[in-house]
Structure 1
């Protein structure tokens, strides 16, 4: 057999074996890999190259070595799951770099991290001043997680005591000018409803690059022509305005009538509607 054919066959076999062993090791080879797994991945890749190039030795010798390097990390991962001591030994422990706003220089030295590197890690977490950081921790994977001080953390609806609607993934109902009926059915809508919404915005279906419907039934459109801007749906805001107008009308009726019973009834309904508006406001004005 010519050498070039032998090399071609061995290359295909080693590539297939490397792909198979990488699948067996799992997705951790692609994300959140440990230093040990990183070394194993390099070793398996080198072995695959050696198998393809070393035409004098039996191919199964290299495949056996790749198999051993695949099974070993799987066994160590299983051992780490069963024992915290083994997990700390093989994967390492997290180390505190900043505590109570104070940099722990000794821990930086243990991680062989310079001040510039620490500042770089903080900037990737949108912390440009050390004084803004309450706590920073270096994970075994090498990433640094940061907890900002309370006064520097982003404001959230929970902190403000607001009630907000849960976020639901929008459904794509139009893609490349084509209607996706399955997504419409998931939302409980049909093509007639979609065409009616498009007519309200004065858009033809063939001009729509992407159309999505959120949990509130609002349709958002992106057109092929980037120069044309489609107005955002105002259904929720219009509902809020209508409720406010109705509440104001009830108060006006209460002032205009002379019958005390009718006046009290209008006032009572106005107060009840006001309470309802206050409860719905975070949902209608977001």
Structure 2
């Protein structure tokens, strides 16, 4: 709830900045005869005081087609045009709301944030899939880095005589270079995923889609992170338990199975699981930062 509230607050700020950038309109002392500037099909601006900027008002899109004459007059005006309407009538009827006093339910109603909205539903699926794709990328990255490390160790055994006997020192720096380079290069794509997906979802599905993505990403990411931390730890400890003498100890089929489990469990509990926390924070911050951009330029397909 705190995450969604922070995002909604930035959406509110985005509307305010949108109205502040618009041309100033004549002062309207009486909202019953307000001179309004049409910013978009569902957003208007009114200047209530001489020394104040424009004030943003939101018109609920679901009511635009069946509202009073004031709504019809606003609908007939081109974007960027002005018209005198009875704004107080729209406020009293619950067909419009001031952006300054709008509550979270008002924004939910304005953007039709419900599971029956295809944009929100697709956003939820995108958030859920984002967590799993991110885990897949990090798991494969660990496998590739480990493979390079194994090849380097084998090369040193072949080319540097005396390592096994202790008469020569291995090239530790080469292994450190491999792990350092892999840690940086392999995280480029997962990081871009967390940076670009919230912006793409916002541009294609709007604010409702982003809210759905945040819900899906947070719930799926939390559940998968807990599962990976516990499963990875269990598989790792299972190998240690059998190596301690349980179920026949080393060399048994049970031990071979736990070696495989430990191979998967280590990146589970040490890589993918903890990094999901970073993914959730990253996509949340990107969504908040680009909220104003999405408000103005995002496609309005599902509300």
Higher relative contact order (CA 8 A, sep 6+): 2
Structure having the larger proportion of residues in helix: 2
Tell me the TM-score normalized by structure 2: 0.22
Tell me the TM-score normalized by structure 1: 0.23
